[in-house]
Amino acid sequence: MSTLHDRELNPLKILHHVDRLRDLASGKDVAPVTVEIDPVAYCNHACGWCVDPVHKNERMPWTTFERLLVELARFEVAGRCVEGIVFKGGGEPSLHPEFPAMVERTATLGLSVGVVSNGSRLRDCAETLAGHTAYIRVSIDGPTPESHQRVHRSNDFDDIVRGVADLVAARKERRQPIIGLSFAVDTDGVALAREAIALGESLRVDYVLLRPPFFEEVGREPTMTVSQARQVRARLSQLACAYSGPLEVLIGNWVGDAEQDSERPGKLAANGRGDIREMAGIPIEHRTGRCLASPLLAVVTADGTLYGCCNLRALPAWAMGRLDYANGVGFSELWNGRQRRELLARMHRTECLRHCTHPLARCNEIIEVLRDQERPHSQFI
């Protein structure tokens, strides 16, 4: 297998961590596979659909970052360790004055690096990113200066495009980093979906992700009706199916509570990602009342606070404690601490379900199968 679809973007890559899934199924704790680190909590754009609930003037000090990173590189549970660091939410990571050094330092410690960015500072760090990251996703959200400005409320589209071009050029002929453009598309933007794909082709990125925006799941008022959301999704899917060019065209089939309610009146609302198999249309966390996969991921925000899920970032009620290395409180103390144990039990009972976008639903599906000691019908392939 050599294509992105078969390798890097293959959802079955979670099976490389089946040992951790088995531990979670048996009630054991595990080390997170991935830790998201927010270098800053502020942004230079003002996207109306931003999934970060809070922006504030906060950035992670280098001393905290260095101690956290060294600890994560050594952290393990049952012989299994942290494997990847993603710089993303809370704000725009590249605004941290030491962002390039953060990326390089992470890679030198043997951790894989991913970056999710609005692309505004790519020109300042293209060489570093090209040489030290595994993937970079640029949330551009509009294929023209006007459409980008409408969503991001910024006037730096040309700089972003040049930055992506610099990044692709700096990668040379290497397979990594995987470079993609992400577009949140509403009724006004769907007419430009072809232009979004064309932009990806012209920049020679690896993939384009087209998806409707998130609304109620991140606490924002919808700007599309249920009918409009269906029309956008259907149009994007048609374009992806008809496309035969060099890119991977991905459709983020997010379906929100409001839309699911209208489709199945009287039944349990089922929000979730449409690329995940859903029995009776209801995600696994709704069906079982459990989410046991959350320890596979951790989030550390710019102020050093630990959260157990990307959907719970910056929600104070779900904070698992704050790093305080001066007083002996590091990642290990928080991960093994009472506050995390108590919140993890609540997460296992899906008390956080109203915030959930079901990012770990496929993992939870596998864990539920592994929990069944009777192994029903496992004798038949």
pLDDT at 283 (0 to 100): 78
pLDDT band, very low/low/confident/very high, at 261 (cuts 50, 70, 90)? low
pLDDT at 1 (0 to 100): 61
pLDDT at 223 (0 to 100): 75
Q: Contact, 258 vs 212, CB < 8 A?
A: no
Asked if residue 32 has a cis previous peptide bond (ω within 30° of 0), the answer is no
Centroid of chain to Cα 205 = 19
Q: Contact, 142 vs 157, CB < 8 A?
A: yes
Which ranges constitute the DSSP H helices of the chain? 18-25, 62-74, 99-108, 122-132, 145-152, 157-171, 193-203, 226-242, 257-263, 284-288, 331-335, 338-348, 361-371
pLDDT at 268 (0 to 100): 35
DSSP string of 259-303, one letter each residue = HHHHHSTTS----EETTS--GGG--HHHHHS----GGGEEEE-TT
Pick 142 or 286 by higher pLDDT.
142
Percent of the chain with pLDDT strictly greater than 90 = 72
Q: Would the pLDDT of 2 be above 80?
A: no
- How far is Cα 300 from Cα 85, in angstroms, rounded to an integer? 10
The total number of residues written for the chain in this structure: 381
- How far is Cα 298 from Cα 153, in angstroms, rounded to an integer? 30
Q: Would the pLDDT of 58 be above 70?
A: yes
- Residue in 239, 227, 243 with CA at minimum distance from that of residue 187: 227
Tens digits of residue pLDDT in 38-49: 999 999 999 988
Tens digits of residue pLDDT in 188-234: 899 999 999 999 999 999 999 998 887 655 566 777 777 888 889 88
Percent of the chain with pLDDT strictly greater than 70 = 90
Mean per-residue pLDDT of the chain:
90
Q: Would the pLDDT of 302 be above 70?
A: yes
pLDDT at 51 (0 to 100): 80
- Is 279 exposed, middle or buried (CB count within 10 Å of its CB: 0-12, 13-18, 19+)? exposed
Domains of the chain: 33-274+297-330 (3.20.20.70)
Q: How confident is the model over 143-159, as a mean pLDDT?
A: 97
Tens digits of residue pLDDT in 72-126: 999 999 999 999 999 997 899 999 999 999 999 999 999 999 999 999 999 999 9
